Amino acid sequence: MSLRILHFSDVHLPFPPGAFRTPGILHPKRLVALVNFYLRRGSKYAEAVQKLNGLNEFLRREPVDYVLFTGDSLNFGLEREFVAAAPRIAETLALARRGSLAVPGNHDLYAGNSPACHRRHFAALLHSDLPEAAAPTGYPLVRWLGDDAVAIAFNTSRPNFNFWNSSGRVPALELDALGRLLDAPEIAARRRVFLMTHYPFDENGYFHGLRNSRALIKLLRGRENLVLLHGHNHRAYTHFVAGTTTPLYCAGSLSKAGAESFWLFDLFGDALNPRRGAWKNARFVLLD
C-alpha cells in the first residue's frame, strides 16, 4: 500500500473589502492586531491568495490522496473573513483524491464570536469518520487514511482576550478523548497515526505556546506509530520529540513571502518519505 499525504498551514488570507465594518473590530485585541498588521505583518502575506492558488495548481499537477490543514486561514477571525476564506480552503481540500482533515488556528478562533463563525462556515470540513469519539468540544476528529493509517485532529486554539496572550491549550475533555482514541485497538494497530493540531507540541513561551504540552507529551510517549503535525510557527522544520523516536513536522506558512512551505509525505508500508514544498519561480515545487 502506498499513500501520498500533503500537510499545509498558516495561509492567513487577506481580509476582504468591508471586513472591518463591524462592531467586532472594536475588540481591544483586534485593534492592536490591526495596527501590527499594517505596520509589520500584512505585506508578508499580501499574496496569500496567489500562494493558495499555487498550491491548488500543485495538487492538480501532483495529485495526493489526502490533504491535512492545521489552521490559521485568517487574520482576525471576523465574519466577513470567514465568508471569503471558507470556500477557498474548501476548494483546496477538495483537490485531495480521497479526503482531507482540518483544524482551526488561533487566528481563526481569534476573539469574541470567532469560534461560532468558524463552526458555521467550516462545518463541512469538520466531519469525523468516528464522531462518537469526539469530546463535547467537537474534537478530536478522525479521518481513516486507507487501511493502514489514520489522521486525528485535536484543537489547541482558543480566543484570548489580552493582545499579549496567544497561548493555546488542549481542553481537558479533549485530552481524555485523545487518550481513549490512541488506546483503541483499531487505531493502535495502524502503522501510522498522523496527529495534527495548530500549536507546536511544546511550551514555547508562556504567552505563545501550548500551556499543557507536558500532559500532552506524557500521553503520547511510548506510542511508536505517531507522526506529529502542526503549524503556528511560520517556518518549516522537523525533528524527533525529545527522548523519543516520534517525528514532528511543522509545515510553516504556505504564504509567508520568502518562506512559503508545506510537507508532502509518501507512505510505503512502514516507510515514511517526507519532502518539503517550496515556492520557486511563481510555483510550488518539491525540494530534494
Residues near Fe ion (CB under 5 A): 10, 72, 105-106, 232
Residues 6+ apart with CB under 8 A from 218: none
Residue 105 CB, nearest approach to Fe ion (Å): 4
CA distance 152 to 197: 9
Residue 170 CB, nearest approach to Fe ion (Å): 15
CA distance 7 to 9: 7
Give the CB-nearest residue to Fe ion: 72
Smaller CB separation from Fe ion, 3 or 170: 170
Place of cell 481513516: 144
Measured CA to CA in angstroms, residue 245 lies from 75, 217, 239 at distances of 35, 13, 9
Residue 63 CB, nearest approach to Fe ion (Å): 27
Smaller CB separation from Fe ion, 27 or 158: 158
Smaller CB separation from Fe ion, 107 or 192: 107
DSSP state of 13: P
Residue 72 CB, nearest approach to Fe ion (Å): 4
Residue 68 CB, nearest approach to Fe ion (Å): 16
CA distance 74 to 224: 34
Assess contact for 155 and 112: CB atoms under 8 A: no
